[in-house]
A and B are shown apart, each in its own frame.
Chain A
């Protein structure tokens, strides 16, 4: 990992068209501005980790689970 130190207002450039700027620092909270092409998705790392974990848990439920869910939904819509 490349480690750089920045003061408020200073920036880091990634590749040719991504700029990360330190906007302000308040206590342990650092606000960061990101300029990137619209095609580059920017996400908080922990959100992506959470989503990956959620998708993995959601993936490939057993046939029994699916049958139970389907039946439960059918019963509810019949009410």
Chain B
């Protein structure tokens, strides 16, 4: 998996981004909210397993609202989102090592029915705690990619 961050001096190949979710991340501030949920800005990342893979992005203001997210690298090795410089500036990204990339899962009845949203990943700067659901307008990733290929 390759994540490209613009401007060019932050381009990284072969995943320098964090590929599992840290267990001790404080609250996130969603500077671009989840699409359709504009009122919810403060979220907690809650690990749901011991590996830092299955994670819950839970609203602080309404703990009934949560999204299942995973770091995409192990499921989508060819996933290569390009994150533009506006997002880099909004999240105050200074070092590619601070970037945690997550994708939202729509859980089905089985693993085979579970899909991941690759057109609108959640980008997190673990240093500043700013995050955004980024709509990759001009990139052709699927909105419902089967998790199990």
A contacts, CB < 8 Å to B: 38-39, 41-44, 47-48, 50-61, 65-66, 68-70, 72-74, 76-77
CA distance A67 to B4 in the complex (A): 33
| A54 interface neighbour in B54, B65, B143, Cβ under 8 Å | B143
Closest beta carbon of chain B to A69's beta carbon, Å? 5
List B contacts of A76 (CB < 8 A).
111, 148
On whether A55 and B135 interact (CB within 8 A), knowing A48-B35, A69-B54, A69-B107, the answer reads no
Instruction: List 13 additional A-B contacts (Cβ < 8 Å) besides A52-B35, A55-B36, A66-B48.
Output: A47-B135, A51-B36, A51-B135, A55-B67, A55-B117, A56-B36, A59-B37, A59-B67, A66-B56, A69-B111, A70-B49, A73-B53, A73-B54
Q: Interface 1/0s, chain B 93-133, versus A by CB < 8 A?
A: 00000000000111101110010010110000000000001
Closest to A58 in B: B106
On chain B, the residues within 8 Å of A59 by CB distance are: 37, 65-67
Q: For the complex, would chain A's binding face be called helix, strand, loop or mixed by DSSP majority?
A: helix
A58 / chain B contacts, CB cutoff of 8 Å: 67-68, 104-107, 117
Contact B86–A39 (Cβ < 8 Å): yes
Is A70 a contact partner of B48 (Cβ separation < 8 A)?
yes
